[in-house]
Amino acid sequence: MPSLLDALRQHSVIDCDTLDSEVAKSLGPFVDCTSNQAIAYFELTKVSNGDPSLHHEVLIRESARDADRLHEIRGQTSLPEFMVEIMMVKLQLLIAPYITGYVHVQTNPKLSYSQAGTVVNAQRIVAIFKALAPDFDTKRICIKIPATWDGLCACRTLEANGVTTLATTMFCMEQAVLASDANCTYIAPYINELKVHFETGYIDHNKAFAFCREAQAYYNAYNHRTRVLAASLTSVDEVLQLAGVNHITISPILLHALSRLDVSKTTKRPGQYFADEPAAKSLNALKYASILRDESAWKLAFTRSGFGTNEGKIIQAINYFSDFQEKLEELAGRYAS
């Protein structure tokens, strides 16, 4: 019998939120593969059963050698930072044969408030792909960038120069409208703030289902090319509520759960939430027009969105990702020559 995962594929494009190639290989088909610094850290620090060495020990050592070999690409970034980028690219290259769409690599979150730094970082990631896998189609690379003002301006520059982008850590329409104006290929609404994945028992009581639906309705109403890729899910029920969104990226734990559930034995019927009409206010483009090219006005509107709740969530996410970036750099530093 078909599983709930099979049923979901009738409503939305399903992506895998992992850097474990075995997940992509065994639970597919998937279109895109998403990732971030936290996912990269947990994958790179996995140990093999009965083996004290890291599961990806060889990949890490190869990355150190590649960092020396590709010194011309490195530019002004530090050796550990460069190694982190190489390791994330290598992990995605392992997954690429098992997906049909984009491989996603997130820029250094410590550059979240630097437009120029983010652009250079994204271009370097693309250059690493070209150096490590000359035959890989660079049109399959998607660069994930936190949806600050600076990050979204970087997306505008990159998209204009042929680099596919996803605006991540997305929580409100102010971000979503600017992302579509910047011509981002995707946005990633976080249904739950990032804290739910790292603090046991914590619950986000302001989940972003309504925002996710409003953003998609807005893009459809105004014929924007930007697609909604929902992320940061904690349960099967949350995944099912999102059926009908353009893309859903799902963690290995939830993918396994969905693949084991027989669709005929559940009362859950995916698709209804996105079939319902969104709030009419979400379709009013005029309310956002004045802030799209005005940095101060946009930042104030973003700060006031949810009475500061949404800005607080992206600040929290940048902190978490920056912490994992530093952990990855520390790991790289132990192998750097």
- Pair of tokens at residue 285: 């483009």
Mean pLDDT value across residues 12-31? 96
Round the average pLDDT of the chain to a whole number and report it. 94
pLDDT in tens, 52-109: 788 999 999 999 999 999 999 999 999 999 999 999 999 999 999 999 999 999 999 9
Amino acid at 319: N
Instruction: Give the DSSP letter of residue 114.
Output: -
Radius of gyration in angstroms for the set of CA atoms belonging to the chain, rounded to a whole number? 19
Mean pLDDT value across residues 207-222? 93
Residues 295 and 149: their CA atoms lie apart, in Å, by 7
Instruction: Check residue 245 and give its pLDDT.
Output: 96
- Pair of tokens at residue 221: 């109403």
Residues 28 and 59: their CA atoms lie apart, in Å, by 24
Instruction: Check residue 267 and give its pLDDT.
Output: 65
Domains of the chain are: 4-333 (3.20.20.70)
Residues 286 and 98: their CA atoms lie apart, in Å, by 43
Produce one character per residue of 40-73: b if its CB has 16 or more CB atoms within 10 Å, e if not.
bbebbeeeeeeeeebbbeebbebbbebbeebeeb
Instruction: Check residue 195 and give its pLDDT.
Output: 96
Is 144 among the residues known to form the active site?
A: yes
- Pair of tokens at residue 232: 């940061």
255 backbone dihedrals φ, ψ, rounded to 5°:
-60, -45
Lowest mean pLDDT segment, chosen from 85-94, 214-223, 299-308: 214-223
For the cut 60, the answer to whether the pLDDT of residue 280 exceeds it is no
Mean pLDDT value across residues 102-123? 98
90, 144, 313, 327: which is the annotated catalytic residue? 144
pLDDT in tens, 226-275: 999 999 999 999 999 999 999 999 999 999 999 998 877 666 666 788 88
- Pair of tokens at residue 127: 């250059």
